[in-house]
Structure 1
Amino acid sequence: MSHSPKKFFATANGAGPIARFVNWLQRIRTLTNGDKLLPSHLRRGRIGEHAARKHLRRFGLKFLTANFRSSRGEVDLVFRDRDCLVFVEVKTRSSEDWTRPAAAVNARKRRLLSQTALDYLRLLKNPEVKIRFDVVEVLLEDERVREIRHLPNTFVLSPPYRYG
């Protein structure tokens, strides 16, 4: 008896058994770090970054890398939007009771993101490209994405830094 490979990956009403299994594995990987369960704040962060990546790809941005680290800090996601490099900070919260998640991107955080973005550009031999800094707010409810807000061009390269 022969089965079509397509049946295992997709059916008329949705995902086939292999696709469902792969999705399940991805959800588990998002929630764990190897054999250990991640602390809840790291688990929320991973869920938020994954949701932000999918959201921005849906709008045509080309994903380049995640969690770029330099000696000065980390940029959550890096995308290309036509001729512009986009450095994305993802803020994930389970509640908006006190403030908007983007409010956590204060002057100190903007300075660190600026420095890290410049380190990334140095690795690319300082290409002549436009850059921008976006924030994506991800709101969760019971560790499920309730809402995603993309805030493009949230801030400019922090002084005294310049590029281009």
Structure 2
Amino acid sequence: MPVAARTPRRPRLTARAWIHAQSWAIRRLHSMHRTRSASHLETGTLGEREALFHLRLHGYIVVARRWKSAKFRGDLDLVAWHGSTLCFIEVKTRTHRDAFAAELAVDHEKQRVLRRLARAYMQRIPAPRRPSTARFDVVSLYLTPGIASNDTWPEFVLNQGAFEWA
């Protein structure tokens, strides 16, 4: 009987390498296609996408993006599980560093809006499955130009438990 030729096995990507590959591919696609929108909205969208991949690398499981309620204004940028804690994540993106940190843009009014939206989100979860702990995180993201190309390389500051429920 003839021996069948074996095809060489391709090395398996680790989860970390796969997330980096996804982030790189989406970044490349974004650089090829620019939409005609307000630049600050485009910056915010890009920042939320970069934050999603960054959080996945740090063990977060993202379950919702840009969640909105029919009753209240505003949206939750990201909702994710970090272990057994449900996290409501606000992403603040800047194209350069300023005298004030990006997370300072989450003032008392914004915190009030986020708390209201988080309560609405929690009410949609059946009572037996509601998490016992939840927190608010703020991701500050600075898009700085890449050294060797026109790509932007994000710099992250993750503030876990940035503010409380009350």
* 127-136 or 110-119, which deviates more: 127-136
Who is 2:41 aligned against? 42
Q: Distance in 1 between matches of 2:32 and 2:75?
A: 19
Q: 2:139 aligns with which of 129, 132, 136?
A: 136
Aligned length: 142
- In angstroms, what is the RMSD of aligned CA positions? 3.0
Amino acid at match of 1:54: F
Q: 1:27 aligns with which of 14, 25, 29?
A: 29
Who is 2:112 aligned against? 111
Q: Distance in 1 between matches of 2:25 and 2:77?
A: 22
In structure 1, runs of 5+ residues without a counterpart are 160-164
Q: 2:164 aligns with which of 145, 150, 156?
A: 156
Higher-Rg member (1/2): 2
* 118-127 or 84-93, which deviates more: 118-127
CA shift in 2, pair 1:80/1:24, >3 Å: closer
What's the TM-score once normalised by structure 2's chain length?
0.73
Who is 1:62 aligned against? 61
CA shift in 2, pair 1:81/1:25, >3 Å: closer
* 137-146 or 52-61, which deviates more: 137-146
Q: Distance in 1 between matches of 2:96 and 2:67?
A: 27
Q: Deviations over 1:13-39 (max 9, x none)?
A: x99xxx89x92687339965xxx4221
Greater per-residue strand proportion = 1
Who is 1:99 aligned against? 100
Q: Distance in 1 between matches of 2:135 and 2:122?
A: 12
In structure 2, runs of 5+ residues without a counterpart are 1-6, 146-150
Q: Distance in 1 between matches of 2:153 and 2:112?
A: 29
